[in-house]
Amino acid sequence: MPHTRATVDSSQTTAILLGPQRHVVTVTDEFARLGLDGRIAAITAGWQEREREEDELQAAFGNRAVGLHLHARCEDVFSKDPELFAAHRRRQDRLRKLQELYRLRLGFALDAAAQLLAETGPDELMIPERESAIAAVRTLDADHLRRIKTIHNAFEHEMHLARRPVLAAHRADLQRLMQGCVAVAIAGGHVATLLGRMRLLDVASHIGRKPVLAWSAGAMVLTERVVLFHDRPPEGAGNAEVLDGGLGLCPGVVALPHAQTRLRLDDSARMSLFSKRFSPDLCIALDERCAASWDGQHWTGDPGTLHVDREGRLEPLDLRHHAAGGASK
């Protein structure tokens, strides 16, 4: 039987997803509102080689942050376990090739859906065709995600991760450190690196009932599927694409950090296709001063936090209490 990591129960998790913190820091106020007294486990693996540059984070948390240094830990594991490193490289090569093939198919599928949404004609003809085209994109996304998960499961089964001494030692040390913390903070940075390090070190299984505050890429990795998006990239078609399954602690949403700069939010047709593609998950725009809260059952938003509705319009998240639908499972 393939090895599977411990199941994460999102109903036991409370989390607050925030917008970028570089220019406007709001995470300090959010922690203050939680009324917590104690140390905070800080995850900055998305910063990669800069993850130890924690001065600003320590200042925000009153020198209570405990750096988990996941990126450095994984580098240590790879240097001392060359067999695991080689298997990891093979997996990454397969995932990159799979993403290329998916991206090729996705372009055609999205073009067809967009053209049909723009086409005019009798509703009895157009509505079924549009729904079918969007369903084709959704099926492609779901199939891609299943293939990614198959590759991950094969890697874990082949390498027997729990039995590898260096990795097991780091996992045990992380469990000890996190047991002594009252909350977890997950910063942004490179989303694939952050997700990969957290997954390899099995961090999610040690969070338990601790509240989590996450921003930018940190918010993205907590969801059920990580969606990359940029409508104005320096190169490429600008199609949003599913990168990987997330950690699943925050179900029922697609996290969209820097939405104002990365998405054509004034293009209602484009945004309508985006929203319908990922429905019933809420597509939450996480810009500066935004916050969306998960209490284990429902989502709510601070005033000014918006989501993209099915018509491609930006609507306040605080006007609705959304129960996660688990569409991406």
Tens of pLDDT, residue by residue over 227-258, are 999 998 877 668 999 999 999 999 999 999 99
* Total residue length of the chain: 329
Q: How far apart are CA 277 and CA 272, in angstroms?
A: 8
pLDDT category at 3 given cuts 50, 70, 90 is very low
Strands 298-301 and 322-323: antiparallel
Residue 68 DSSP SS3: coil
Q: Which residues pair with 286 in a beta bridge?
A: 257
Rg (CA), the chain: 20
Tokens 């990126």 correspond to 71
Q: Tell me the pLDDT tens digit for each residue of 31-74.
A: 888 888 899 999 999 999 898 888 888 888 889 999 999 999 99
Q: Which domains does the chain have, with CATH numbers?
A: 10-79+159-322 (3.40.50.880)
- pLDDT computed for residue 318 by the predictor: 61
List phi, psi (to 5°) of 59: -65, -40
Q: Which position has the higher pLDDT, 297 or 328? A: 297
| pLDDT tens profile 93-149 | 999 999 999 999 999 999 999 999 999 999 999 999 999 999 999 999 999 999 999
Helix (H) or strand (E) holding 257: strand 253-257
Residue 8: both structure tokens together:
């994460």
Enter the tokens of residue 42. 């800080």
Rounded distance between C-alpha atoms, residue 195 and residue 4, angstroms: 16
Q: Indicate whether 223 pLDDT > 80.
A: yes
Q: Give the closest residue to 287 by CA, choosing from 246, 256, 312.
A: 256
Q: What is the percent of the chain where pLDDT is above 90?
A: 77
Residue 212, both tokens: 């989590």
Q: What pLDDT score was predicted for residue 137?
A: 98
User: Cβ distance 318 to 305 under 8 Å?
Assistant: yes
Specify the pTM.
0.91
Q: Specify the higher pLDDT residue, 25 or 95.
A: 95
Q: Where are the beta strands (DSSP E) in 121-207?
A: 181-186
For residue 200, give the H/E element and its range: helix 191-200
The pLDDT tens digits of the residues spanning 152-173 come to: 999 999 999 999 999 999 999 9
Phi, psi of 256, rounded to the nearest 5 degrees: -125, 75
Confidence of residue 10 (pLDDT cuts 50, 70, 90): low
**Predicted local confidence at residue 62, as pLDDT:** 87
